[in-house]
Amino acid sequence: MYKAITGAEPETTAIAPENAPVLSGVVSGFDNAAPTNLPLVGARVAIFETDKATGAERGEAVYEASVGEDGRWGPFTAKPGQTYEFVIRAPGLPVHRIYRSAFPRSSDVVNIRLYPAEGGDGPGIGVMRPRGYFGPDDAATANGAAFAEIDKSEPVPHVWKARVAGSPGESVVARFNEEMLAGRIPAAGENAWIELSY
């Protein structure tokens, strides 16, 4: 596309990282068995740096604030190359822990949706790809095991989330092709997601 518009090949196809990406977004909820996209007033967002290999929090929160009438959180200036855990608390919903890869560039649409309690037998963590699907030809694994939700006989990518069972506090390393991201299985009654970017 770049060549068609400019007549020349691009110098690079990689995302050029910023030195200090600034992040913000909206917290919304889930009601009547569907996402609302409405601001979740009063939700509290805390952000922690995480250990890239285990998903464990590193120290105190580096950002913390309650959202107002517009549901917005931020701005938060991230460190290049740093992974993060977003911890969100809101009345009437479980605590949510969302693990994210490093942010190469600024964005004001790092939106967060809260869900009711996750189903499943016992403690576990979800792995999601909200901007696409996992397919049978992808390297989509958790701790080296392929996601059970992927039907290898279905040629079309068709799975956007998977669940990994384990014990509270256990590290889970999710992989989608070249992206790898660690998270930790939460305490009982909490929701946790490893949210893959690509």
pTM for this prediction: 0.90
Q: What region does 81 belong to: left with phi over 0, alpha with psi -120 to 50, or beta?
A: left
Q: Which domain holds residue 152?
A: 118-198
Share of residues in the chain with pLDDT > 90 (%): 64
What is the arithmetic mean of pLDDT over 172-180? 93
Relative to beta strand 140-142, strand 145-146 is antiparallel
Residues 158 and 138 in one domain: yes
Give whichever of 7-11, 106-110, 137-141 has the largest mean pLDDT: 106-110
Domain end marker among 85, 116, 147: 116
Predicted confidence (pLDDT) per residue in 39-65, tens digit? 999 999 999 999 999 999 999 999 999
Residues 109 and 124 in one domain: no
Residues 179 and 154 in one domain: yes
Single-letter amino acid code for the residue at 110: V
Single-letter amino acid code for the residue at 64: E
Domain end marker among 116, 133, 161: 116
9 falls within a domain: no
Residues 168 and 93 in one domain: no
3 falls within a domain: no
Looking at every residue in the chain, the average pLDDT score rounds to 91
Q: Residues 106, 77: contact at Cβ < 8 Å?
A: no
Residues 100 and 134 in one domain: no
What is the arithmetic mean of pLDDT over 15-30? 92
Report the chain's C-alpha Rg in angstroms: 18
Asked if pLDDT for residue 143 goes beyond 90, the answer is yes
SS3 at position 3: helix
Count the domains in the chain: 2
pLDDT (0 to 100) of residue 119 = 56
Asked if pLDDT for residue 163 goes beyond 60, the answer is yes
What is the arithmetic mean of pLDDT over 66-71? 95
Q: Which residues pair with 28 in a beta bridge?
A: 39, 113
Domain end marker among 55, 81, 116: 116
2 falls within a domain: no
Band the pLDDT of 16: cuts 50, 70, 90: confident
Asked if pLDDT for residue 120 goes beyond 80, the answer is no
Residues 150 and 171 in one domain: yes
Residues 186 and 152 in one domain: yes
Relative to beta strand 96-100, strand 191-195 is parallel
Residues in Cβ contact with 14 at an 8 Å cutoff, skipping those fewer than 6 apart: none
Where do we find the tokens 């092709």? 177
